[in-house]
Amino acid sequence: RFAPHGAVQPKQLDYYLDEFVFRFNRCASKSRGLLIYRLLQQAVVTPPITYKAVIGKRSGKS
């Protein structure tokens, strides 16, 4: 029911788990509209994050 993402890197595990929890809660929720409304509220007040910050890359070449 939940689509696999292939290999999960340890440094990105938190993001995969957050997505899984969101999908699970969305399916189990009796009030899906409220869930989406709260998600949008958080998206508006949360500052953007760069891709480098998400994947944890350091600046410079390795």
Residue spans of the domains in the chain: they are 10-55
Question: End-to-end alpha-carbon separation of the chain, Å?
Answer: 38
For residue 21 the two structure tokens come to 């929890």
The rounded mean pLDDT for the chain is 77
Return the pLDDT at 19.
84
Question: Could you identify the residue written with the tokens 């699970």?
Answer: 24
Best CA proximity match to 35, nearest among 26, 48, 45:
26
What does the DSSP 8-state code read for residue 8? P
The predicted model scores a pTM of 0.39
Mean per-residue pLDDT for 23-50? Answer: 82
